[in-house]
Amino acid sequence: EAQVTQNPRYLITVTGKKLTVTCSQNMNHEYMSWYRQDPGLGLRQIYYSMNVEVTDKGDVPEGYKVSRKEKRNFPLILESPSPNQTSLYFCASSLSWGSYEQYFGPGTRLTVT
């Protein structure tokens, strides 16, 4: 089944404790990106990747890192999480940046206390 998977689905952590949210797709997509969803703000792009080893900042990159060492994986790294990073996170992928449809993962609910 073609899909985007994220792990974990739920995470509660403390300020400053490094964490990684994994994202994997099995559709051989070149383009992948991360969004965060906050009430009243919709979804905002954090980082995106055009292909392996090619990443760039989105609208809200502060406090996040990403890497794209393999085509299928695009992990989101929070090296020192803070409470303002409490949010719902989505990974998305598409065949290319210009593709009509982006496929979203199931979301990761992160709480930082």
What are the residues binding another protein (CB under 8 A)?
Answer: 31, 33, 35, 40-45, 48, 50, 56-59, 88, 90, 92, 94, 96-102, 104, 106-107
What residues are paired with 112 via a beta bridge? 13
Rank residues 18 and 57 by Cβ distance to another protein and give the closer one. 57
Q: CA 14 to CA 55: how far, in whole Å?
A: 28
- What is the nearest approach in angstroms of another protein to the Cβ of residue 22? 17
CB of 63 to another protein, least distance (A): 19
C-alpha to C-alpha distance for 39 and 8, rounded to whole angstroms: 21
Measured from the CB atom, the residue of 14 and 54 that comes closer to another protein is 54
| Nearer of residues 73 and 97 to another protein, judged by Cβ | 97
Tell the smallest beta-carbon distance from residue 23 to another protein (Å): 14
Residue whose CB is less far from another protein, 98 or 113:
98
Minimum distance from residue 87 beta carbon to another protein (Å):
12
